[in-house]
Structure 1
Amino acid sequence: MDTATLPDHRTAADPVALVPFAPAHLPGALALSREMSWPYRLEDWDFALRVGRGFALERDGAVIGTAAWFPDEADHATIGMIIVAGAAQGRGYGTRLVEALLGAAGPRTLLLNSTAEGRALYARYGFQPAGTVRQHQGPYRHRGAAAPDPDLRAMALGDLGAIAALDRAATGFARRPLLERLIAAGEGRVLLRDGAPAAYAITRPFGRGHVIGPVVAGSPDEARRLIAASLARLDGQFVRIDVPEGAGLSPWLTGNGLPQVGDALTMVRGALPPAGPARLFALANQSFH
């Protein structure tokens, strides 16, 4: 769908316009996320809409709804940031936003992480359950010094090609541009095997503190080593990490002082690309996975 030809559903009784998301919408989007108790900062909204594309619902100059999608370099995309103001819910605005996303994405395979309230809406458009994401977070307190891991080092600019290949093997998505922005916004670590990057983790500022993710590794042990090294640099700070249920990291994270505080249902529309043997152990964000 060309955003220049978005359907205009405005009437005298309901003068709500669906428009492409623009920088002017950022303060209104931030207010919506605060209403939903999402911990986004203005910088987080700006980052998301620079790596993706979005829509806003406007009424009398006020933002009453948002939605975004994040295409990869192939035929897949994720969708998220779907919010409708509480006072405007129940009037079909969520449906308008989802239909705009589907029109923009075209035939791509689509992935999303849904709240309990949104599952029925997405199911109506052919999204099927594909897993669960566990959200862990809290103030982190480092529990004593650990011996340096000789196989870990800071991510270097020359690692990007290997990181992008590992990420595609784990997710099936071709998302090098997203990885470039994530690395630029934070810092990364790689785990070496035979001198070459075999796993990676990225940490960046987000919300109330920092988020660790994505984390891609060949085994839970490798993922724990990368996460432990990232946590060691975040002593005394608020940390969030979103992990797939099948990653098996939830008990370990809870034991390290990051309790599970919520979950989301991963849903897919279309056929997910094959992935492996590397696996995704932590998400960059529930909206762009």
Structure 2
Amino acid sequence: MTIRPVDQVPTTDPRPLSLVDLTACLELADNREWPYEDRKWDFLLRVGQGYGIVDAAGKLAASAVLTRFGGVAAISMVLVADRYEGRGLGKRIMRHVMGEAGDSVVTLYATDKGRPLYEKLGFQAVSGCEVLLGGFTGTAPHTTRLATADDLPAILRLDAEVLGVDRTHVLARLPEYADRIRVVERGGAVTGYAAASRAMSTQDYAQVGPVVADDEADARALIADLAAGGRIRVDLDPRQPDLLAWGKENGLEVVFQATSMVVDGTPLPGDRTRLFAPLLQAIG
């Protein structure tokens, strides 16, 4: 019987990652059987700061991405290669990234597998997340319109009002990442917006998010107009039971769940009642 030698745990400090490391990030994700989200990684490495721990063989052993806006910092893409699982790399890179966040309110979305680690680091659950996926069977009301470049200032103002932070550096790149962006306009003012994007170049469905609107009726209209009879994913808060029920009634099924967590349970800024879906769980 051949006994596989135990890989020596890397002792190097986490280092910044850039787009040069995109292939290494995708290889690490593949090692953990994550999907090949090439467009999502590219987007996050442009709007946020990635960090990684490299082993003696020059391979990426652990990763995390920190996306900061105002006084809020979102952590995502926390991965440890399977050969180092349970050997402290996850905690080490999390502590490093949390240190880089400084005094920001630190938030993330956790799977059931990752939640115990985050709880040990001081994160507390603040809400849930139901991931719905499927062929949308509802009727598009056509009460929203496609956004134009001229709408960006209004979208930035609305997003800052609802999220309580300035996300200009993220949303300025949204037109590059999103397949399409739609807005609700009333009285000449943009009162809601949503985008549909693909995390993978080969993805056969679009993820709808963010969805920012004054009320649930406008949120439904934005989702339906973006779906237009196709396959979509949308991440909804279970505290919006009517919206969840509407999604299920129109061809969508819950495929997995996550938990929104914040260090010490600190309330996030803004009027989150008007945020019906995050841009990505990686960003909020």
Above 0.5 in TM-score?
A: yes
Q: TM-score, normalised by structure 2?
A: 0.88
Match of 1:241 among 231, 234, 241: 234
Task: Letter of the 1:174 partner, please give it.
Answer: D
2-structure distance, mates of 1:99, 1:279: 32
CA shift, 1:241, in A, is: 1.3
User: Could you list the runs of 4 or more consecutive aligned residues of structure 1 that deviate by over 4 angstroms after TM superposition?
Assistant: none
The answer for unaligned runs of 5 or more in structure 1 is: 1-11
The answer for unaligned runs of 5 or more in structure 2 is: 1-6
Match of 1:172 among 161, 164, 171: 164
Task: Letter of the 2:99 partner, please give it.
Answer: G
1:6 aligned residue: none
1:68 aligned residue: 65
1-structure distance, mates of 2:36, 2:280: 11
2:262 aligned residue: 268
Q: Deviations over 1:5-61 (max 9, x none)?
A: xxxxxxx95344322113332222112223434334222211111110011121111
1-structure distance, mates of 2:195, 2:234: 11
3-state SS in 1 of match to 2:114: helix
Task: Letter of the 2:25 partner, please give it.
Answer: A
The answer to whether the aligner puts 1:116 opposite 2:134 as a matched pair is no
Q: TM-score, normalised by structure 1?
A: 0.86
CA distance 1:16–1:137, change in 2 (3 Å): farther
Task: Letter of the 1:239 partner, please give it.
Answer: I
Match of 2:211 among 208, 215, 237: 215
Task: Letter of the 1:166 partner, please give it.
Answer: L
Q: 1:180-195 maps to which residues of 2 (within 5 A)? A: 180-186=172-178, 187-195=180-188
Q: Deviations over 1:149-206 (max 9, x none)?
A: 2xx2111222222212222222223212111111232221111122211111111222
1:9 aligned residue: none
1:224 aligned residue: 220
1-structure distance, mates of 2:119, 2:9: 27
2-structure distance, mates of 1:96, 1:211: 31
2-structure distance, mates of 1:262, 1:191: 29
Kept in 1: contact 2:137–2:251 (CA 8 A): no
CA distance 1:247–1:181, change in 2 (3 Å): farther
Match of 1:39 among 35, 41, 54: 35
2-structure distance, mates of 1:37, 1:215: 29
2:196 aligned residue: 203
Kept in 1: contact 2:130–2:256 (CA 8 A): yes
1:53 aligned residue: 49
Identity %: 33
Kept in 2: contact 1:216–1:278 (CA 8 A): no
2-structure distance, mates of 1:13, 1:202: 44
CA shift, 1:277, in A, is: 7.5
CA shift, 1:141, in A, is: 5.2
CA shift, 1:220, in A, is: 1.1
CA distance 1:154–1:288, change in 2 (3 Å): same
Q: In terms of mean alpha carbon deviation, does 113-122 or 20-29 score higher?
A: 20-29
2-structure distance, mates of 1:117, 1:163: 35
CA distance 1:147–1:267, change in 2 (3 Å): closer
3-state SS in 1 of match to 2:185: strand
2-structure distance, mates of 1:146, 1:111: 34
2-structure distance, mates of 1:27, 1:206: 15
Task: Letter of the 1:213 partner, please give it.
Answer: G
